[in-house]
Each structure stands twice: as C-alpha cells, then as structure tokens.
Amino acid sequence: MINIKTEEEIELIRENNLLVSATLAEVGRHIKPGISTLELDAIAEEFIRSHGAVPAFLGYGGFPNTLCISLNEQVVHGIPSSKLVLKESDIVSVDCGTIMKGFYGDSAYTFTVGEVSEDVAKLLKVTKESLCKGAMKAKAGNRVGDIASAVQLHAELNGFSVVRELVGHGLGRNLHEEPEVPNFGSRGRGPLLKVGMVLCIEPMINMGTKSVIFEQDGWTVRTKDRKPSAHFEYAVAITKDGPDVLTDFNVIENAIKQ
C-alpha cells in the first residue's frame, strides 16, 4: 500500500530532510584529505542529536553507524571506519537519515576531495542531473516508470550505467515505504503517482559496468569493475502544483564552496 500524506505530514518530512541537508553540509565542510570516514560519522551523529533528532540508519537492520559513506568504487552502504582515510581525488558518497517528530528524512550527496579527473566530475554532474530529470516527472497522473526512464535515459545517453539491484522508495513514518522507485524502466509503467506521495529518488550511476558486488561485510556494495560510482538522493513530494523537493542541495553546495 502506498501511504498518502497530508500537507502537515509533508512539512514534517521536509523538516527532517532539511536537517539531513544541514547535516550533509556540516559533513561536507569537514571533507578533506586526512580525515577518516569514522570521524565524519561522529560529526554527523553529534549534529543530528544536537538538533533533537535521531540518526535513522544507526541500528537499522543492524547497520552500525549514522552515515553510509561509500568511497570511489563503493556504490552505497559503506561502513565508516577509522582505517578509511580520505585522500586527494577521492569521491565520497554520504547517505544520511534522521527521525524526528515521527517521520523520516533520507538524502545523499557525492562529494569530491580536492581535484578530481574530468570524467569523474562528469559522472557526478550527470548523476545529479539524472536525479533532477527524474524528479521533474514526479507529478500526479504520471507513473513510477516515467521517473525511472528519465533517470536511466540521461545517465545512459552520457555513457554511464545504472545500478539495478538498489532502488529508491517511498518515505514517511517509515524509512522505506512503497512504492519502489527504480532508476531504470519504461515510461507509462508502474504505480500511478498521486498527490500526497513522498518519494526518495536516488540514482546510483556507474562509470563502467552496471554490475555490482555485495561485499563480505554484509553491507558495502561496490562496482564489479572497481570503476567509480556516484549517488545522489533527495525526497520529493507530489503536490497539486507538481514536484516539491524536500531536500536542500543548495545548503550543501554553499557549505563546500567556502
């Protein structure tokens, strides 16, 4: 069943996603060569708790930390570690969730450490554009497949590949609600979109093959060919006036510019 949210409920989901955005901005300020992913995790946990919320991923399905931090060829669900230290030219996908006032936030951003190569910069740019193109299709009367195909088309037209094994989802009183929101598919197919739905759209786009490996740690997903992968995620509400993005990437981008 797909939960339909009231306007008041959507505002509570927005509050969560704005806190997630601010947390990602705070993490982004600390991203530099020499910092470990466990240090970034501690910064995020402290930030979330100091704003009266609870980290949503900590303990979720047994996940041990506040953030999923995935470096370079890691796609998603990387576990923070003191042994994973950022270095120049890395890319760092940070996925963050909160629980506050009975609702969830869930968003992700891929950061760069210093200068990255031109093709890696393009991967990040195209992944974020794919997310935006998908979100523009999040309108009442469209179907999930309209979002999915828009994401896939933009990624593939630019020579990249779309991960199949992991998908976006509904968001609300639960972290993962129906419907599933794949990043590949056919226009006009899948569940009908209605006013009051809130979806997390989260393309995971690979530089090389779309194939992924699930690592022995039970969490980390990486590309089979060990080429880089990018992940951007935001929550979008379907309103009578069209898509309403509940996450604020601007606050993240302003933070990392300084």
Q: Which stretch binds Mg ion (CB under 5 A): 104-112, 114-122, 125-133, 144-152?
A: 104-112
Cβ proximity to Mg ion: between 141 and 190 the closer is: 190
Cβ proximity to Mg ion: between 131 and 200 the closer is: 200
Site string for Mg ion, 190-219 (x = CB under 5 A): ----------x-------------------
Per-position b or e across 62-101, b if 16+ CB within 10 A of its CB: ebebbbbbbbbbbbbbbbbeeebebeeebbbbbbbbbbbe
**Up-side HSE of residue 154: CA atoms within 13 Å toward CB?**
24
Residue 106 is a binding residue for Mg ion (CB under 5 A): yes
Residue 13 is a binding residue for Mg ion (CB under 5 A): no
Residue 135 is a binding residue for Mg ion (CB under 5 A): no
Are 58 and 79 in contact by the 8 Å Cβ rule? The answer is no
Site for Mg ion in 214-253 (CB under 5 A): 233
Q: Which stretch binds Mg ion (CB under 5 A): 12-20, 84-92, 102-110, 240-248?
A: 102-110
Q: Which of 125, 179, 173 is nearest to 147 (CA)?
A: 179
Within the chain, strands assigned E span 54-55, 67-71, 74-76, 91-100, 103-112, 161-162, 168-170, 177-181, 198-201, 204-206, 212-214, 221-223, 229-231, 234-239, 242-245
Site string for Mg ion, 19-38 (x = CB under 5 A): --------------------
**H/E element, 250:** helix 249-257
Q: Which stretch binds Mg ion (CB under 5 A): 41-49, 101-109, 185-193, 224-232?
A: 101-109
Residue 177 is a binding residue for Mg ion (CB under 5 A): no
11 contacts: CB under 8 Å, gap ≥ 6: none
Site string for Mg ion, 61-100 (x = CB under 5 A): ----------------------------------x-----
Residues that bind Mg ion (CB under 5 A): 95, 106, 108, 200, 233
